[in-house]
Amino acid sequence: MGKRKYLPLTPSEVVSTITALGFVLKRRQGSHAHYEGIDESGKRAIVTVDEGYDQFDETRMKSMIAQSGFDREKFYGATKQIAKRAGLKQYTGAPPKKPQPVVGVAPKGE
């Protein structure tokens, strides 16, 4: 059996990845956290992370990568640890300009 194209990640690993790509927490709704950022083409992008999962399957990973507006290699290469697990080089491109976080939205657990 071959290597998976979309490596399964935990919610915290996805959050680390998208924050490394310049996304910031915009709001929460139940177990869903919505992160806003700028995609590679300079357009606003929203990635929804359902923190109720232990690990995301290939379908959900593919969806979140598409929501981010980055390609698979840049998404998985955003952090050194995940890039190594995925067998990719770390993406060192400068993240796009970060949108301003919403005041009063506390990260989960605080």
What burial class does residue 39 get, using C-beta atoms within 10 Å of its C-beta: 0-12 exposed, 13-18 middle, 19+ buried? Answer: middle
Q: What is the pLDDT of residues 47-99, one digit of tens each?
A: 999 999 999 999 999 999 999 999 999 999 999 999 898 888 888 775 555 55
Q: What number of other Cβ atoms are within 10 A of residue 4's Cβ? A: 10
Residue with tokens 């980055």: 70
Rounded to the nearest 5°, which phi and psi values hold at 11?
Answer: -55, -40
pTM of the model: 0.80
